[in-house]
Amino acid sequence: MSVDLLSLTPDAAHTALAEWLMQRGEPLYRVRQVAPRLWQRPVARWADASDLPAPLRAALDEAFPLKRLALRTEQLSSDGTQKFLWTLDDGEAIESVLIPEGKRRTLCISSQSGCALGCVFCATGRMGFRRNLSAGEIAGQVRELVLRDPVLKPTNVVFMGMGEPLLNWDAVDTTLTILNQPEGLGIGARHITVSTVGILPNLAKFARRSEQFRLAVSLHAPTPALRRELMPIEKKYSLPELMEALKQFRRRVTLEYVLIGGKNDSLDAADQLARLAQPLEALVNLLPLHPGGAPDLTPSPRADMLAFERRLKHHGVEAVLRRSRGLDISAACGQLRVEVEAEEHAHIE
């Protein structure tokens, strides 16, 4: 039975390889030749590892086949944003978005196919939950870019694509290690952000990790009543419980807040949000609603967004109004998959 080395931590993969090579009677130095081909100098298939003998490559292919994500479609925005739709082994599809900004290249990755949470402003939430991704499928979104061109390797990774990372904690936990360890992809912990609505039991597990990974919390409303309207998860993990849980983090928390016209963008809402952010000394990321994510909701007018940002700053809260990226492509989370599947369905009919 074959083993997916790409879904193991680098240490566990190293151990599995060492045992297998020893059983084959291979010299010990082979581990140092084989292991870097997983993440540090990845190969698309073992046949490409030309520094290894052909019989060993064939045996590796049988024991440890390297699972790939197949590129289904790709879009490039005029602002440089690239969106990738990947097909998995079972035909499910996930998205990644690469956002260049100066020397920084941020890759937004998916942790689930679909999402069970049903947030009203999110295209992924509307498609429902399909399945969890393996660690190899999550980290593989980074690996595929490196295979395409090492220059595309992201400097930053954010778990802000499809799915709720903390509902797939075991795989995300392993992925964080793969992304961060030098024997993996070697991306600094402070350059890796997990975004969550606040699944409290697994939030506590994330808080216990010793590395300085960053946490972003999808808040989007300053009161329980409004949050329940926008985010059904509020019924299970309430806003007061969530704000209390965030105190366990030794590092700064970012609060994510999508501004929706007439819903959560009043100055009163800004005052209430400031009261939540102040005790945590949190950074507030203000995000314009991407029109592709929720066709029945209206983005806040720019003047209102700027007034909201000013009001937060007036309260001493550090707030940043982000600009929407990829407006000329299907860059909203889940949007490209929904559109491609609708198009393919129309062709079938």
Q: Are residues 141 and 18 in the same domain?
A: no
Which one from 92, 164, 333, 341 is the annotated catalytic residue?
Answer: 333
Q: Are residues 220 and 301 in the same domain?
A: yes
User: What are the start-end ranges of the E strands in the chain?
Assistant: 70-76, 82-87, 93-101, 104-108, 112-114, 129-132, 156-159, 192-196, 214-218, 253-259, 283-288, 319-321
Q: Are residues 163 and 240 in the same domain?
A: yes
Q: Are residues 21 and 45 in the same domain?
A: yes
Q: Are residues 311 and 248 in the same domain?
A: yes
Q: Which residue is listed with tokens 């492509």?
A: 329
Q: Tell me which of 63, 92, 110 is where a domain ends.
A: 63
Q: Are residues 49 and 126 in the same domain?
A: no
Write out the DSSP string of 42-64: --SSGGG-TTS-HHHHHHHHHHS
Cβ neighbours around 225 below 10 Å, total: 9
Q: Tell me which of 21, 44, 63 is where a domain ends.
A: 63
Is the Cα torsion angle 206, 260, 292, 130 positive or negative in sign? Answer: positive
**Active-site annotation holds for 333:** yes
d(CA 299, CA 291): 7
pLDDT in tens, the chain (349 residues): 789 999 999 999 999 999 999 999 999 899 999 999 999 999 999 999 999 999 999 999 999 999 999 999 999 888 889 999 999 999 999 999 999 999 999 999 999 999 999 888 887 777 889 999 999 999 999 999 999 999 999 999 999 999 999 999 999 999 999 999 999 999 999 999 999 999 999 999 999 999 999 999 999 999 999 999 999 999 999 999 999 999 988 889 999 999 999 999 999 999 999 999 999 999 999 999 877 667 788 999 999 999 999 999 999 999 999 876 655 555 555 455 555 454 444 444 4
Give pTM, 2 decimals: 0.92
CATH number at residue 50: 1.10.150
Q: Are residues 167 and 308 in the same domain?
A: yes
Q: Are residues 240 and 318 in the same domain?
A: yes
Q: Which residue is listed with tokens 């808080």?
A: 207
**HSE-up (13 A, CA, CB side) for residue 185:** 31
Closest C-alpha among 31, 10, 29 to residue 20: 31
β-pair partners for 70: 87
Which one from 26, 95, 144, 234 is the annotated catalytic residue?
Answer: 95
Q: Are residues 169 and 74 in the same domain?
A: yes
Domain that holds residue 48: 5-63
Write out the DSSP string of 94-106: EEEEEEEETTEEE
Q: How many domains does the chain have?
A: 2
> Between β-strands 253-259 and 283-288, what pairing exists: parallel, antiparallel or unpaired?
parallel
β-pair partners for 257: 286
d(CA 142, CA 105): 11
Q: Are residues 43 and 178 in the same domain?
A: no
Provide the b/e sequence for 237-250 (b: ≥16 CB within 10 Å): bbbeebbebbeebe
**Active-site annotation holds for 211:** no
Q: Are residues 216 and 88 in the same domain?
A: yes
Phi, psi of 86, rounded to the nearest 5 degrees: -105, 140
Query: Which tokens belong to 141?
Result: 């979104």
Write out the DSSP string of 294-344: -TTS-BPPHHHHHHHHHHHHHTT--EEEPPP--TTTT-STTHHHHHHHHHH
Q: Which residue is listed with tokens 């300053």?
A: 222
